Structure 1
Amino acid sequence: MKRIIFIIVLCAAFASCKKGTDFLDAKADTGETEATVFADSVKTMRFLTQIYSAVGYSFNKGRFSSHGNTEMATDDAEYAYSGVTQYTVIMYSGSLSPNTFWDRTTIPDFWGTPYANIRRVNLMLSKLPITPLNVATKKRITGELRYLRAWYYHFLLINFGGVPLEGDAVYGIEDVIDLPRSSFQATVDYITSELDAAAAILPLPNVPAPLGYQEQDYGRATRGACLALKSRVLLYAASPLFNGGAISSASAIAKPLVSYPTYSVSHWQKAADAALEVINSNYYALNEDNVTAPGFGFYNVFLRRVNTEYIFNFNRGNNRDMEVNYNPPSRGGAKNSTPTHQLAEAFPMRNGKAITDPTSGYDPANPYANRDPRFGYSIIYNQALYYSTSTSSKIAVNTYAGAATDGYTTNGTGPTTTGYYSRKMCDENISANSSFNTERGWPLIRYAEILLNYAEAINETGQTALAYPRLVAIRKRAGILPGADNLYGLKANMTVEEMRLVIQNERRIELMNEDHRWNDIRRWKIAVAVNNGFNKAINITRIGTTGSNYTYQVANTIRAHVFNEQHYLMPIPQSEVSKMPSMVQNPNY
């Protein structure tokens, strides 16, 4: 009889689970069996909780070796480690391959984690009819499971394109499995159809039972989460990489697996319609507060588990997750990821104009003054105030070259290799070395993303005017000034091309460090342009030994990034290709 394990394990792939013995390939055994688990309502729900427990695996700031993440393999951030065996280093150094990347046992999670959890979903769906749960609960859980299955498939889609679709099957090692990859279109259609089916039976968000969940069930999948994930999937599918934009060297066999056959503006319209359905549902609203301080609603949304903006989140107990990962050494942080200078430059001024606009008021000699409030809530720059245990108050962080504890060094061995530290999602009233914790849930999907999804998709249909109100709403919440034209710094009457660049930049700064940049630069097919060569740092020199006069010089970081065309898609593990003769590898691997 099969054994059930109640720990999160990273199964190598959907074909690696053994039939007739341990449920997840000879891992720790609780002594439970399928019969005892699914005959008990509490244990059944615990099994569902296990599937939920991995939903934040991609967002997790310690995803790789407890300190790496895809954000650190992009033009947005520098990784604190440089060892050639670190996963983040493998990703940004252009060393991705079907063999070298996947043969380590640490965390082959791009492929393995989704399929391990898809298998859990399928097993639970097969056993749900025999559980002692009541009919209404079974129906709701069916919706939750179908949402979760779509959730894990959507990670496979953005990383690999079309993938093998298991349906409801539960496979084991003794089964002879040779599932071919489904086409890209079939994979998109399957995910969206699953989300439609789940949305029809799941509770509504942000309303009390019986239409919504009871309080203790907050964080479970809702109808709104289904609509929002559908918006994301259709936006991915409409993007240049997939909308008839298969990698140029892809074979005739591979092309339909990694892209729609030809470009169609209808894919953009479907994405816009899906985002608009979320907007028109009135389930969600931006967390806006410009009274406490400009942009305070943006800052505070990440410190409230329950709010009107979170659509799907991974709840955590009170913690210092972000502070430990991002804080500078003087605040006890590991500074695993430090923002690049090009990311810092992407934030506009408080009037909403780009710093490159000669009318913006940007002063190169005082570069951090009068910036978009999101800049100060996202990045710790030289002389920025941040809580310190030494004074139990906020004092300046010094990132200028040679500054004690937190200063920049040109050889890359110092505390910051970019001249900045991350502040996004951190609580300004605590630090990594304080004894305080903060309320926090990880934002896996939030309403601001949906507004940006709509703006991007509708602009690509040629209806650029319809994108403006969504960007205005985001910039208004950010604390940007409206200006005489109430466009919050946006240029009037932009072309599709001009608006595209604005939206891409707005997405970059609004969703910084939220597990989007790696996917965005690939689906837009701009990674070859923006993620090759060296990231930028700011080398700040203090004039004199006292005072606050500085000079600023842009410098290169010391670690070169390499991104080639094949990296737009991840390599399928060679072990999977070898197991299944029908499996087709992604192009150029």
Structure 2
Amino acid sequence: MKKIFIILAFVIVYTSCKKSTDFLDGQASTGETEESIFTDSVKTIGFLTNIYSGIGYSFNKGRFSSHGNTEMATDDAEYAYSGVGQSAVIMYNGTISPNNFFSQGAVPDFWSTPYANIRKVNLFLAKLPGTPLSAPLKTRMAAEARYLRAWYYHFLLINFGGVPLIGNNVYGINDVIDLPRSSFQASVDYVVGELDAVAAVLPAPTEYAEQDFGRATRGACLALKSRVLLYAASPLFNGGSIATGALAATVSYPSYNVSYWQKAAAAAEAVINTNYYSLMEDNVTAPGYGFYNTFLKRYPNTEQIFAMQRPTNRDFEGYYNPPSRGGAKNSQPTEQLARSFPMKNGKSTYDPTSGFVASNPYVNRDPRFGYSIIYNGSLYYSTTTGTKIAVNTFDGAASDGYVSSTKTGPTTTGYYSRKMCDENISANSSFVTERAWPLMRYAEILLNYAEAINETGQTALAYPKLIAIRKRAGIDAGADGMYGIKANMSVEEMRAFIQNERRIELMNEDHRWNDIRRWKIAEAVNNGYNSAMIITKTGNNFTYKVDNTIRLHVFKPQNYLMPIPQVEISKMPSMVQNPGY
């Protein structure tokens, strides 16, 4: 078995590196001191690994109360819980505020988790020169730590706009801190500058020894730069501020400039030109099998750029599987997400020439649809038979069905998630699968490039990247070799196409909440009720009807940015709250 650094070092972190409040922000004490950590090479490395251990906090499917995530605050998914104190509920019903943002469940992690880890990075950098590590190792680990700091800052940028930049400072418990927010431009420039600096130091993905697999690489630096610059160029931040006056420059670029899109396109192209990465394509085993397998292949994986390494596990099966397979079905895909997947010929299901049939909606679909969503009749592994058997979601079906009379039941949408799950195991089986959490992968970079280059008016340059994604998906090329993509689209048409392609390709990968906000479309797509599919079985025949779910989503204009916790505003007079809160 491959030796995975993050997994092995996890043991070090949790047996030797949890500390008292003087430098690990309130974690339980094990009697360690700063001196005992940073005079020991193994524990020093373990301290850095502790910072790595938080990289997936936003992606984590159990982020809120062990079962929630931002995906349930969008038009992509319905939440299995409805308690008003649940963090995901607070987000989707529009009641998030500076006060409950701090006090409820895990909601404060938007602010506190990044800053806690930024502080750990700064402490690590301060202590690193005096550690017993070799000079080359110190240089590399300093670069890794700076990359991780940029990683945590990028979450602050997309959620808050400009934030306090603390540099290399390590504040102690007795320090009086009163830092103003830096401008949005200064915040972006700082993160990009850090990434440029450490990209020149960190190894390429192929240059790490096997035991160091999972660490930050030069490619990860370039990819994160691509993401940050794409966010910054987007309508919410590129002259589309929801603030006025002096605050506008704090939360966005004050005026629109196409050069920000040009920079984003160049950053994505820089990743592509390294030739470090490629899409995992396999349409021989089955159409779109490479898409399916990229989430179940930890090493080697040519598509993964930065990932949360995990031991063999049933992480997503436990979270997404239907009850008949022992899953918690915490997040259930909506009908509008299901309809966003095209047909196998690549045409939209709303195109009258696509071949979509409302009375038989699941045939001849984009192979990604079947790998992403469990629909009525989907075959999935069952411990009852030891084989793949159908999952029944029709009205009144035992175990997994929708209940139309109450719009509830095991499923509230008529669907369950399958994305990133292994179809040959289930949550209630004893089997595990090999996977890492895909925090950044190559398909995102191709989509980043296509989106950015289109916004510069060079729409034709977006086509090759989109064709590559659709070819890998197992969509039919068609006589024109366009994989169902309309030729000669306008910027506006291409924008809508890319937004939909991004939605389905990156489903459940911690993008939708950020995307609908940065595109400033959340008020249009995330207000009102999501859609469910009601399926009625009569004999061996099924009829299909789209209905509203029972959970009202409310997205207010101020929700394009998150509120800074009131406790932070109260203790730092220089801190300015985001507009609307």
Query: Is the pair's TM-score, using the shorter chain for normalization, greater than 0.5?
Result: yes
1:572-583 equivalences in 2 (<5 Å): 572-583=564-575
Report matched runs for 1:46-85 at 5 Å. Answer: 46-85=46-85
Cα shift at 1:333: 0.5
Please say if 1:246 is aligned against 2:241. yes
Which AA in structure 2 matches 1:474? I
Say whether 1:289 aligns with 2:282: yes
CA deviations over 1:360-402 (Å, ceiling 9, x no partner): 1111111000000000000000001000010100001000000
User: What whole-Å deviation, never above 9, does each CA across 1:86-121 have from its counterpart, x for those lacking one?
Assistant: 000000000010002212364520000000000000
Question: Residues of 2 paired with 1:7 and 1:566: CA distance?
Answer: 39
Question: Counterparts in 2 of 1:59-138, with a 5 A limit?
Answer: 59-104=59-104, 106=106, 108-138=108-138
Match of 2:400 in 1: 406
> Could you tell me which residue of structure 2 aligns to residue 461 of structure 1?
456
Give 1:311's match in structure 2, choosing from 305, 312, 316: 305
- State the AA in 2 paired with 1:202: L
Q: Is the 8 A contact 1:286 1:447 kept in 2?
A: yes
Cα RMSD of the aligned pairs, angstroms, is 1.4
SS in 2 for 1:458: helix
Q: 1:264 is paired with a residue of what secondary structure? A: coil
Question: In the alignment, which residue of structure 2 is the partner of 1:334?
Answer: 328
Q: Which residue of 1 aligns with 2:358?
A: 364
Q: Deviations over 1:13-55 (max 9, x none)?
A: xxxx99xx63235541111111111111000000000000000
* 1:378–1:423 CA contact under 8 A, matched in 2: yes
Number of residue pairs matched?
Answer: 566
Identity %: 74
Matches within 5 A, 1:39-438: 39-104=39-104, 106=106, 108-205=108-205, 207=206, 212-247=207-242, 250-306=243-299, 307-410=301-404, 411-438=406-433
Q: 1:224 Cα deviation (Å)? A: 0.1
For residues 331 and 451 of structure 1, what CA distance do their matches in structure 2 show? 35
Shift of 1:181: 0.1
After superposition, what is the alpha-carbon deviation per residue over 1:488-516, rounded to whole angstroms, capped at 9, x for unaligned?
00000000000000000000000000000
- Tell me by how many angstroms 1:253 deviates: 2.2
Aligned equivalents of 1:384, 1:133: Cα separation in 2: 53
Rounded to whole Å, the distance in 1 between the matches of 2:140 and 2:452 is: 32
CA separation of 1:99 and 1:7: change in aligned 2, threshold 3 A = farther
Q: Deviation of residue 343 (structure 1)?
A: 0.1
Alpha-carbon separation, structure 1, partners of 2:322 and 2:93 = 25
Conserved 8 A contact 1:326-1:333: yes
Return the alpha-carbon distance in structure 2 between the equivalents of residues 107 and 578 of structure 1.
18
Q: Is the 8 A contact 2:87 2:106 kept in 1?
A: no
Task: Indicate the residue corresponding to 1:447 in structure 2.
Answer: 442
Residue number in structure 2 paired with 1:14:
none
2:470 to 457, 469, 475: 475
Which residue in the other structure is 1:24 paired with? 24
Match of 2:9 in 1: none
Which amino acid letter does the alignment assign opposite residue 312 of structure 2?
A: N
CA separation in 1, counterparts of 2:244 and 2:476? 51
Distance of 1:420 and 1:229 partners within structure 2: 33
The one-letter code matched in structure 1 to 2:120 is R
Q: Give the letter for the 1:552 counterpart.
A: Y
Cα distance in 2 for residues equivalent to 1:514 and 1:100: 26
**Matched position secondary structure for 1:443:** strand
1:408 and 1:193 map into 2 onto residues whose CA distance is 51
* Gapped regions of structure 1 (runs ≥ 5): 12-16
Asked whether the equivalents of residues 329 and 415 of structure 1 are also in contact (C-alpha less than 8 Å), the reply is yes
Distance between the aligned counterparts of 1:218 and 1:508, measured in 2? 29
- Give the whole-Å Cα distance in 1 for the aligned partners of 2:491 and 2:412: 37
Structure 1 position 538 matched with structure 2 position 530: no
Aligned partners of 1:329 and 1:335 also within 8 Å: yes
Where 2:68 maps in the other structure, the secondary structure is: coil
**Alpha-carbon contact 2:101-2:107 (below 8 Å) kept:** no
Q: How far does residue 254 in structure 1 lie from its aligned partner after superposition?
A: 1.1
> What is the DSSP-based 3-state SS (H/G/I as helix, E as strand, rest coil) of the residue aligned with 2:215?
coil
Tell me which residue corresponds to 1:37. 37
Task: For 1:75, give the aligned amino acid.
Answer: D
**Equivalent of residue 485 in structure 2, options 473, 482, 490:** 490
**Is the alpha carbon distance of 1:47 and 1:287 closer, same or farther for their aligned partners in structure 2, counting shifts above 3 Å?**
same
- Name the SS of the counterpart of 1:425 in structure 2: coil
- With over 3 angstroms needed to count, the CA separation of the structure-2 counterparts of 1:288 and 1:575, relative to structure 1, is same
TM-superposed deviation, 1:358: 1.0
One-letter amino acid of the structure 1 residue matched with residue 572 of structure 2: M
How many angstroms apart in 2 are the aligned matches of 1:282 and 1:92? 40
| Equivalent residue letter for 1:268 | W
Deviates most, 98-107 or 404-413: 98-107
For the residues of structure 1 that align with 2:436 and 2:106, how far apart are their CA atoms? 25
Q: Is the 8 A contact 1:6 1:30 kept in 2?
A: no
Question: CA separation in 1, counterparts of 2:25 and 2:335?
Answer: 45
In structure 2, the residue matched to 1:570 is 562
TM-score calculated relative to the size of structure 1: 0.95
Contact 2:65 2:105 in 1 (8 A): no
Conservation of the 8 A alpha-carbon contact between 2:64 and 2:105 = no
Residue by residue, what CA displacement relative to the aligned partner does 1:535-578 show, whole Å, maximum 9, x if unpaired?
0000000112xx2x111000000000000100000000000001
- Offset of residue 272 of structure 1: 0.1
Shift of 1:251: 3.4
Unaligned runs of 5+ in 2: 1-11
Aligned partner letter, 1:273: A
SS in 1 for 2:254: coil
Deviation, structure 1 residue 179: 0.7
| 8 Å Cα contact 2:532/2:547 also seen in 1 | yes
Task: Write the letter of the residue equivalent to 2:154.
Answer: H
**SS state of the match for residue 88, structure 1?**
helix
Asked if structure 1 preserves the Cα contact closer than 8 Å seen for 2:459 and 2:491, the reply is: yes
Cα contact 2:87–2:104 (8 A) shared by 1: no
Give 1:267 shift: 0.2
2:332 and 2:580 map into 1 onto residues whose CA distance is 32
